[in-house]
Amino acid sequence: MKNSVLILYLFISTSFIHPRDEMPAIIAPGSASENLFIILTDGFRWQEVFNGADSLLIHDEKFTPDTATIKSMYWAATKEERRARLLPFMWNVVAAKGQLFGNRDLNNKVNVSNIYSISYPGYNEIFTGTNDIKISGNGKTYNKNLNVLEYLDHRCGFEGEIAVFSSWDVFPYILNRNRSRIMMNCGYEQINNEDKSEVIKMINAVQEKGIENRSATRYDLLTYSTAKEYVRNHQPRIVVISFGETDDFAHQKRYDLYLQQANQVDRMIGELWNMVQTTPAYKNKTNFLITTDHGRGNSSKHWSGHGFFIAGSSQTWFAMMGPAIQPTGERNKKEQLYSKQLAGTIAKLAGAEFTK
């Protein structure tokens, strides 16, 4: 009974949060660009984004078996050095050309507004702008809420110009592929090789024959390679790439692999930005939005998990960069933002207004 009362209280509390449908003071007036890349890395904490490797976790052999090697890679005396070692592209490029939100040490807060703090509700919030109380788990059920990608594809001149690539195989349900008909390649799905690309041919072969124990989360490197080759051949205007292994390694309580995967995701984002800036159809006409679906526990005891009963799980972050983004760097203004505001921001970056 007490749990039911608590859930009702939290539902009422979050239901009366009414943030604006888009983020404030981010997008330069009248500067929406032609293209948008939305990049997500599942369950990656704000603590590592803004402070780098956690001292308690990187020195604990229970979570970091080879502490000496991982410390040589990611440890430094100051948080500025640590975060730049872990995420060099984020702190050398994004911080110089865009904005980063969610450093709670500066009282700049970003949270999910759903009460569950797990993946499906988090992605639903990002793409639909709702904190639907009925979406409470990660099951493969088709989302009834309209998402901003579907909205743009049907109404705003983006027909056939949106592509989604996800390591997690639940994305077709989150974005309701049956209804939206948006191009998606998720989990270990084969991708149609209509371009007769040798890269796609190789990826399909690896996925079909080279991986024995497939899980619900495809290797991020395969997701990235598939997305990059498709973008090179088709140049869609809106691209979603969702990585999943940061969350997987955290659940395995392997802080070393969690850090290494975050570093690899940062490198892949850097390579994508380089490709964008060397492709005429994208150069100086493309924005990047980088974020996560939920936080994790904010203690050494609970960092590997997340959810309703784990403190810190609702705490997230996001970063933006591109011609429409004012280059003010790390946000140090006291404010409270929510992931549900990102759907409206995605639409605005595309030059539209998202009507839920």
Three-state DSSP state, 111: strand
Q: Which position has the token pair 């009834």? A: 144
Average pLDDT of the segment spanning 185-194: 95
In a 10 Å sphere around its CB, with 0-12 CB exposed, 13-18 middle and 19+ buried, how is residue 2 labelled? exposed
pLDDT band, very low/low/confident/very high, at 355 (cuts 50, 70, 90): confident
Residue 27: is its pLDDT beyond 90?
Answer: no
- pLDDT for the residue numbered 212: 84
Cα–Cα distance, 140 to 172 (Å, whole number)? 9
Q: Which domains does the chain have, with CATH numbers?
A: 2-349 (3.40.720.10)
Residue 3: is its pLDDT beyond 50?
Answer: no
Residue 24: is its pLDDT beyond 80?
Answer: no
Average pLDDT of the segment spanning 175-203: 95
The Cα-based distances of 86 to 41, 59, 93, 114, 307 in angstroms read 14, 16, 13, 29, 25
- pLDDT for the residue numbered 21: 61
pTM here? 0.93
- pLDDT for the residue numbered 10: 43
Cα–Cα distance, 66 to 52 (Å, whole number)? 18
Digit-coded pLDDT (tens) for 288-323: 999 999 999 999 999 999 999 999 999 999 999 999
On the CB side of 258, CA atoms within 13 Å amount to 28
CB 60 within 8 A of CB 300: yes
CB 119 within 8 A of CB 345: no
- pLDDT for the residue numbered 262: 98
Could you tell me the two tokens for 134? Answer: 């009925």
pLDDT band, very low/low/confident/very high, at 74 (cuts 50, 70, 90): very high
DSSP 8-state class, residue 168: B
For residues 73 and 23, the model is more confident at: 73
Residue 248: is its pLDDT beyond 80?
Answer: yes
